[in-house]
Amino acid sequence: MGHRKGKVFLQEVGPRDGLQNESRSLSPEIRAELIDALADAGLSRIQIGSFVNPRRVPQMLGTQLVWRLVNKRPETRYTALVLNEKGLDQATSENIPHIEMYVSASHTHSVKNSGTRVEKALADVTRMIGTAVANGLGVTAGVMCAFGCFYEGPVSIESVLRIIERFEENHPDEIVLADTTGMGQPQRIMKMIESVERITGIDRIGIHLHDTHGLGFANLKAALEMGVRRFDTSVGGLGGCPFIPDAEGNISTERTVQTVESLGFITGIDVKKIIRVRERLEQLLVKSLPTRKTEPDPELPAKE
């Protein structure tokens, strides 16, 4: 395998991004059980759910109860997504230690996703970052559709940088670039990281990739090459945005672990345990979860 290249941190987003796009809703009790199993598999960062209007995203109903039921491990960073002040208040009152907030780089997606144009969303989120930081919460601030929009096409690097510069006024812990529609390509990924790094430094950048067009793992490798060591993944490749047609799943946790470890990095994650969680999800959702929608990665060992 060669020499070790250091640690890659994966955040499991299946309990939120993965489940929010499914027609079947899972109970808070089952969601908490899945989160505990993911933590047991070695995932040190887990997105437990979101504080959003349950009428818009019914799969996230009961996130407060999920959090209360989770067997909280001191070595695991649990996070939740919030979209507005009400969600922030709920997360704060539940003592969620780390929150995530996003602004879309696309006006059309912003309106469909949150009912708000980009400028208003940016002003709101910048203020909320300040409130959260002042209250001692960990904060991840992200840009949706950072690499392109299903509705509007290419997104300029300048528009993404403008959002991040506003975020930086209130000093979030991390900046995430999200390929919400799966339109990212390796060269685009690398150019964006190069530009954002000048503002944030490479260590604070995370990447959220979807595999809509089969480029998720090529984009993962491009980001690794640029020095990024933080990625969002989803068990079984679950996921997608409810407000974007055909925005298929995130890059799968199990294949991401295999990919980055084949390249000499360490994740600390037990793939066999992740596969058991995937099999449990297949039973619960009554569907198969193919984790490989493209040709097998030639750098990975053959499946036994």
Cβ atoms within 10 Å, residue 164: 22
Q: Please, what is the end-to-end C-alpha distance for the chain in angstroms?
A: 18
**CA dihedral defined by 150, 152, 158, 161, rounded to 10 degrees?**
-40
Helix (H) or strand (E) holding 103: strand 98-104
Check if the beta carbon of residue 239 is closer than 8 Å to that of residue 216: no
Which residues are catalytically annotated? 241
Residue type present at position 133: V
CA distance 219 to 235: 18
Query: What are the distances in angstroms from CA 83 to CA 53, 57, 131, 275?
Result: 9, 12, 14, 31
